[in-house]
Amino acid sequence: SVVQTNAATAEESAAASEELSGQSNMLKELISEFKLRDTENLPYQKQYNGDFYDSSILNNSNAFTGNIVDSKY
């Protein structure tokens, strides 16, 4: 049914979002290892604000935990 398809799509989207969040955190950690020369004299430095996203969205206990490959639609 359409409702089941929409529910499955929503669960898969939540799982993909959670996976991307984890990957972005890993990438942020990897990038933090790189050091640039003479960054103190740059006229502008953008600061990362880790509180930009609502962390409660990422801690959804109802998130899809299965395997997307097993999707039935």
Of 65, 70, 69, 61, nearest to 15 by C-alpha is 65
Domain enclosing residue 65, as ranges: 2-70
Domain count, the chain: 1
pLDDT, tens only, 14-69: 999 999 999 999 999 998 888 777 767 766 656 655 555 555 555 555 555 555 55
pLDDT at 52: 54
Q: Which single residue is written with the structure tokens 């929409």?
A: 6
CA distance 27 to 5: 32
pLDDT at 60: 54
pLDDT at 41: 72
pLDDT at 54: 53
pLDDT at 21: 94
